[in-house]
Structure 1
Amino acid sequence: MTTCPNDHLQTRFARVIAHIDAHADRQLDLAELAGIAAFSPFHFHRQFAALFDITATHYIRLVRIYRAAHSLLFRKDIPITDIAFDAGYENAESFSRAFRKLHDQSPSDFRSHPDWDNWQAPYAKLQQIRRNTMTGTESDNVTIIEFPETRTACMDHIGSPARIGETIQRFIAWRKIHHLHPSKHATFNILWCNPEDTPADEFRMGLAVATDQEFSDEDNKKGFYSQTLPAGRYAKLRHIGSDQTLRDSALALYRDWLPHSGETPGDFPLIFQRIAFYPDVAEHEAITDILLPLA
């Protein structure tokens, strides 16, 4: 079987995309990136633009501001000045100017009043490139585990998937008040429906944290309820990388592994256990265990 020369080129430049994601918090020059691609520095920038329809410099800027936007929304304890430094800017003023060009809002206004329906629109090109260069996890890495019964506090996001960040904010704020740090209390997503064939206004996903705490009336008013994840045998597939390819990994579990396994799914939805979170780690280092309950 003949391999297309362009496949080798895509592979080499996919390494560049991963390198940028891993090291976006420091200075990156074109000579370094050309070395990652094993490509002439005299031609690297043109080849990058030809492959991805965006310059490498613009791509790096998008990666940095996208991660900063996540920190502004979901890590509210981090000062904006620190977020600016982490994004590679020398001061908050230059970061604010760059951020405003993308979002037409200052970082502080964005943190306080995000446009949940449209805030990711400036990153459409970034997300397209990541979908095309970051691959899902191979289904031959599936293991069968015994999962213990786990009581959780669960908050459902119901409505457009585009607005799930708003629910995540409330979920994070609640768990901080109750001192349920992710390092000690596991985090889960419960996939009550398939977003591919569910109307946006009927979409439902559970955000859950492992805890035996009792709920107050105030907790219930905020939308929290007790949800027990059932004990039993689960097929586990570890996904490492962006949520952009998480769907592909879950699909591989059903398409490639399940038909040949002799197993039957159990009577509970698919679960994602979040192990390492973006933006706390680089996007390609985020870890999610996909858990399929078995009969």
Structure 2
Amino acid sequence: MKEYKKRIVKTIQYIDENLDADLSLERIAEISAYSPFHFHRIFKLVTGETLQSYITRKKIEKSAFFLAINKQLEIKEIYLDFGFSNHSVFSKTFKKYYGLPPSEFRKTAPEAFHKILQTQSKNGQIDTVFSQYICTIENLLNWTTMNLKIEVKQMPEMNLAAVMSLGIAQVEPSYNVLIDWAKSKNLFPRENVKMISVYHDSFKVTPPDKVRIHACILLDEKLEVPQGEVFSETIEAGRFIVGTGEVTLNDFEQCWVSLFLWMNEHHHSMRRTFPFEIYHSNFKEHPEGKMIVDFCIPIH
């Protein structure tokens, strides 16, 4: 099963980086080194979706994200970038997922993206998804000022070892796999070790059970060859909005919402790469469950 996951990880990375390219079953199967017949069954087994459903969902979710956060982009530019041939096809598919045509979604996005619904899970934990207001924009900005130190800065390239998780429930198991691997390489525990979560999907547009998050550890050198479920990931050097605070896990959603709001208020636009969190302490070692975190948004 681990070999299946390793190949699917490679395939998912390829899909996400080539949403406007040839994503036929034959081409994707070639990337995964499986026959089309076997690949289709394995992909659904691992992800819970057919290949075409996954591709279509990713295109629509990425389109929704950029409709909301990059208001200066024309709708046509967005749908062409994500491989839709014309506005009619894009609008019909988009409406199927979000209940609104793209233009209406863009108008309501500021409201929709600053909503939250807390649902009680079976184990009593709070799962965070978007559906009702967390607070007004004014309160969000005040909360940001009080709880996050925000700056725009240049950050260097970061070489990571990563383990993929599909669905929020898989993040902790992914970190367990990563830490076991890091211990075997004498990379953990050590002083000033940096653990990083890279968000390849947004909870704003992707269901929590399908969101893709990479559990990562910062390396001194690039990991050249995948090792089991552990693979290489690189965060390119560039400009980032960095919000730093000592927060609890329950504060994370509010941190991200307020940081994106700060980005828009200060007229920055997000680059087409992935936001991430850098952890400087462990919440399990704090009496109030707090941890020091950098919330990082890549910008132009």
Please state if 1:82 is matched with 2:77.
Answer: yes
- Over the matched positions of the two proteins, sequence identity in percent amounts to 22
Matching residue within 6, 19, 22 for 1:11? 6
C-alpha separation in 2, matches of 1:203 and 1:35: 37
Partner of 2:216: 137
Total equivalences in the alignment: 183
Partner of 2:241: 188
Equivalent pair of 1:190/1:206 in contact (CA under 8 Å): yes
| Gap regions ≥5 residues in structure 1 | 1-5, 143-182, 211-221, 225-240, 260-268, 281-295
C-alpha separation in 2, matches of 1:272 and 1:203: 7
Equivalent pair of 2:15/2:55 in contact (CA under 8 Å): yes
Q: Which structure's relative contact order is higher, taking Cα pairs within 8 Å and 6+ residues apart?
A: 1
C-alpha separation in 1, matches of 2:254 and 2:217: 32
Equivalent pair of 1:68/1:87 in contact (CA under 8 Å): yes
Partner of 1:36: 31
- Counterparts of 1:268-283 in structure 2, within 5 Å, are 270-272=293-295, 274=297, 276-277=298-299
Partner of 1:123: 206
Q: Which is greater in Rg?
A: 1
Per-residue deviation, 1:59: 0.5
Cα deviation 1:65-110 (Å, max 9, x = unaligned): 1111122111112111221211211111110000000100110001
Equivalent pair of 1:65/1:99 in contact (CA under 8 Å): yes
Cα deviation 1:214-240 (Å, max 9, x = unaligned): xxxxxxxx988xxxxxxxxxxxxxxxx
Tell me which amino acid in the other structure corresponds to 2:241.
F
Partner of 1:102: 97
Equivalent pair of 1:193/1:205 in contact (CA under 8 Å): no
| Gap regions ≥5 residues in structure 2 | 116-129, 132-202, 222-237, 267-272, 286-291
Per-residue deviation, 1:208: 10
SS of the aligned residue for 1:192 comes to: strand
Tell me which amino acid in the other structure corresponds to 2:80.
F
TM-score (norm. length: structure 2): 0.51
Equivalent pair of 2:246/2:293 in contact (CA under 8 Å): no
SS of the aligned residue for 2:216 comes to: coil
C-alpha separation in 1, matches of 2:83 and 2:261: 33
Equivalent pair of 2:94/2:100 in contact (CA under 8 Å): yes
SS of the aligned residue for 1:84 comes to: helix
Tell me which amino acid in the other structure corresponds to 2:206.
Y
Per-residue deviation, 1:127: 4.0
Tell me which amino acid in the other structure corresponds to 2:35.
S
Larger helix proportion of the pair: 1
- Counterparts of 1:219-258 in structure 2, within 5 Å, are 242-243=274-275, 246-247=276-277, 250-251=278-279, 254=281
CA 1:209/1:69 → structure 2, altered by over 3 Å: closer, same or farther?
closer
- Counterparts of 1:155-174 in structure 2, within 5 Å, are none
Partner of 2:177: none
TM-score (norm. length: structure 1): 0.52
Tell me which amino acid in the other structure corresponds to 2:106.
R
Equivalent pair of 2:245/2:294 in contact (CA under 8 Å): no
CA 1:15/1:75 → structure 2, altered by over 3 Å: closer, same or farther?
same
Per-residue deviation, 1:26: 2.0
Larger strand proportion of the pair: 2
Per-residue deviation, 1:207: 6.6
